[in-house]
């Protein structure tokens, strides 16, 4: 359900990212990139797990897939943004669909960024840094 690994050094030490995707392969690859950049990474395979982990750990950022079983990413984002403990957590939508309506729904739900699958390491790190810097 959840992978948690603390980094001992690096400029991103102390920053936790919750990665939400129902693909084990995507979670593995993206987690590795983020961990190599010094982040602590939590993973969830659906929106319900994401909401629970966000409440429990209050991560610095959530990277959220749209289409998932149990609870989709848009509904999970709405729930995260509606709760006082988690409302301030920035959420970046992460999807292979890239349909305009998904992007609009994500923005309405409170997402602050967008990443397209497949994502390259540079684009991922750039968007993560941009969002984290804008949220102090």
**Could you identify the residue written with the tokens 């400029």?**
11
Check residues 102 and 75 and name the one with the higher pLDDT.
75
Its pTM stands at 0.88
Q: Would you state the pLDDT for residue 104?
A: 84
Q: Would you state the pLDDT for residue 78?
A: 96
What is the C-alpha end-to-end distance of the chain, expressed in Å? 29
Structural domains of the chain, with CATH: 16-134 (3.40.50.2300)
Whether a cis peptide bond, with omega within 30° of 0, leads into 118 is yes
Q: Would you state the pLDDT for residue 9?
A: 44
What's the pLDDT band for 2 if we cut at 50, 70, 90? very low
pLDDT tens by residue, 8-56: 445 666 799 999 999 999 999 999 999 999 999 999 999 999 999 999 9
Paired tokens of 131:
């969002």
């Amino acid at each position: 359900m959840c992978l948690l690994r603390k980094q001992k050094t690096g400029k991103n030490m102390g920053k936790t990212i919750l990665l939400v995707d129902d693909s084990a392969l995507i979670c593995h690859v993206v987690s590795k990139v983020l961990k190599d950049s010094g982040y602590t990474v939590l993973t969830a395979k659906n929106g319900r797990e994401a909401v629970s982990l966000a409440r429990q750990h209050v991560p610095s950022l959530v990277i959220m897939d749209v289409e998932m079983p149990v609870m989709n990413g848009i509904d999970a984002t709405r729930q995260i943004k509606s709760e006082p403990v988690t409302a301030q957590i920035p959420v970046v939508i992460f999807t292979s669909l890239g349909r305009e309506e998904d992007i609009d729904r994500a923005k309405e739900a409170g997402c602050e960024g967008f990443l397209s699958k497949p994502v390259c390491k540079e684009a991922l790190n750039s968007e993560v840094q941009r969002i984290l810097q804008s949220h102090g």
